[in-house]
Amino acid sequence: MTPAFRPLLAMLALTLVSGSAEAAKKPAAPAAPAACADFYGNVNAAWLKAHPLPAGADSFSRWDELNALAAQQTRDLTRSGTRVGDGRASALLADLIASGQDENGMDAASKAALAPLLARVDAIKKPKDLAQALIALQAAGVPVVYDFDVLRDPQNGQPRATLIPNGLGLADPAFYGSADPELQRVGGLYRAYLADLLKFSGVPGDKLAEQTSQAITLENELAQAMAAPTAQSQSPAAAAKAYPQLLLADFLKSQGVAAAEITIQQPNYFRNVDRMIAKTPVPQWKAYLRAQILHSMAPTLASDYRRAYASLVDDGIAKRQPRTQTDRVALLVQEEAADLLSAAYAERYVSAAQEQKADAIGAAIRAAGKRAIDRATWLDADAKTAANKQLDAMYLAIGKPMIPVAFTSLAFNRDQYAANVLALRRWQRARAIARLERPIWPWPVSQTHPVVGFEPAENRLIVTAAALQAPVFSGQSDGADYGALGALMAQQISTGMHMPANVEQAWATRSQPLVAQYNAYTVVGANKVNGERTRAQNAADLVGVEIAWDAFNTQSTPDFAAKKAFFVAWGSLWARQDRDAALVASMPTATYAPAKWRVNGTVVNQPLFPKIFACKAGQPMFKADKDMVSLLR
């Protein structure tokens, strides 16, 4: 079984769904095959006809379609200052966006947001003042020179208070002092951009060239101090002694950080910063800090600053059409307010009733999994006990993170975009510091991304809000919801169950018949599915449907239509167009069978399938009970 998080659905390139209207032309689609001849082709005939392969694409699927829908929903959400959900996250998100779209208001409020930050820099007279100014800027929401976060120790999972270099305006130290013509071009643009920012902030013309040069020179020195990633953990007292000019004890106290150890990322950088605080002239530091504050806040400030920022980023570096203000606000939301966006998306697109229904399906899948373990005669008592213990402890995070984010201490003013962004940054810092006492880690995936996945290290099933819509979930039909969402849940859980060596061997023996079954399936022409390479996924698909079917039938006594809907929903999940050449090229390494066989190869092993669809001996979708493969039925 796989020892890592395996999301079923990852975000795919949107080029797959943005093909022109002149999609690849195909002959008129033949009539839908009978369910007993090709169940996949039967249930997906309408979708396949309506979705020819986009021009230039190798594939297009229902999953791509769902990704595109979620992306559009997110785009709509990040571009509207009108509240569209019922919860606090929706209200906060709308207030933040509205404040960023009010360009006249931003111009008026810009000076008020900047004034106290620049005044703090102007007050610097000596090196100790400089260190205190850095501390004050951190507290205000503008981390300059260094940043602070609480990160998860990869060895023991414990929270680590961490100091991180944050002294550069450009993304990589390679931009500074390079002989590469393109990097030199960007460096020149950046220098001109900083000069503009300083000019707009009121630096006199006769001082502008000098202050720009001072800022760039200091920034270049910081870039040269950046080294290969290293880290050093030490007590706060030892760190304060190692970097005395930074006044780290004062910084930690100001942030309310009480940690037995702190981690210093890139100690060489901090040693150089400490030296530079003592040796570099204060006026040079002031020019640098003023430029970095303006750079950090530029997208939220008055129009002159915003145009300068857009000119650098859009025209100069990315070489694209300048973004609109609406686009820039949306980008800031995605980069700096990801948890807020995630929660607002869930509030907007998942109702309380839908969430309750999805939770109930998750609980039923867990219970069905335990029943399957208990009746598995090929598992010994110890293996059953261990498996049931894992299922009992498994957390179902469906449509929300395990511990929902609390936004009660966050507030925005629709007239104060820059102040709102600073408030957001302070709130994020407070959340990070709180992890030292109660480690609540950022959720591994946003609710805006359609994901059904199991995370073995945390023993949790994750189903995002974006996945709780067609074709995965409707909340209206038990049969369809268990056949799609329920089967996917069970499929993903099966990939993350811990198995000792003896159970792995028994599982391999039990799933061996799937190898021959899938080896017989044709991909294109003479090319066949590799049953051994695809065995793990084929087994997971089969277990998913077996457990979901048991859960579905245990919750109620479904009628014929509901039973039929169960299988149709499973088959509809995998609708997909593939270019033949691309499909053949993928076969030597593919660990998944083509969509047609993922559907047909699974349902043909379900005892009631031929009865529900009236399949007879001799038809492709008929298997005698004695020939069916069973893993956990």
Residues 409, 407: Cα–Cα separation, whole Å: 6
Q: Kindly report, residue by residue over 543-585, the tens digit of the pLDDT.
A: 999 999 999 999 889 999 999 999 999 999 999 999 999 999 9
Residues sharing a CB contact under 8 Å with residue 449, sequence separation 6 or more, in sequence order:
9, 10, 11, 67, 70, 464, 466
Which range has the worst mean pLDDT, 15-24, 392-401, 622-631?
A: 15-24
pLDDT at 20 over 90: no
Q: Let me know if domain 119-323 sits in CATH 1.10.1380.10.
A: yes
Write down the pLDDT at residue 16.
27
Q: What single-letter amino acid sits at 376?
A: A
Give the residue-averaged pLDDT of 126-155. 95
pLDDT at 26 over 70: no
User: Quick count: other Cβ atoms within 10 Å of Cβ 202?
Assistant: 10
CATH entry, 39-76+351-398+439-627, from 3.40.50.720, 3.40.390.10, 3.40.50.300, 3.20.20.140:
3.40.390.10
For residue 480, give both structure tokens: 């369809």
Write down the pLDDT at residue 6.
41
Give the residue-averaged pLDDT of 164-171. 94
Where along the chain do its domains lie?
A: 39-76+351-398+439-627, 119-323
Q: Kindly report, residue by residue over 435-471, the tens digit of the pLDDT.
A: 999 888 888 899 999 999 999 888 999 999 999 999 9
Strand duo 395-398 + 159-166: pairing:
unpaired
Write down the pLDDT at residue 404.
87
Do residues 619 and 37 touch, judged by C-beta distance below 8 A? yes
Do residues 295 and 194 touch, judged by C-beta distance below 8 A? yes
Q: Kindly report, residue by residue over 484-507, the tens digit of the pLDDT.
A: 999 999 999 999 898 889 999 999
Residues 626, 633: Cα–Cα separation, whole Å: 13
Residues 596, 85: Cα–Cα separation, whole Å: 39
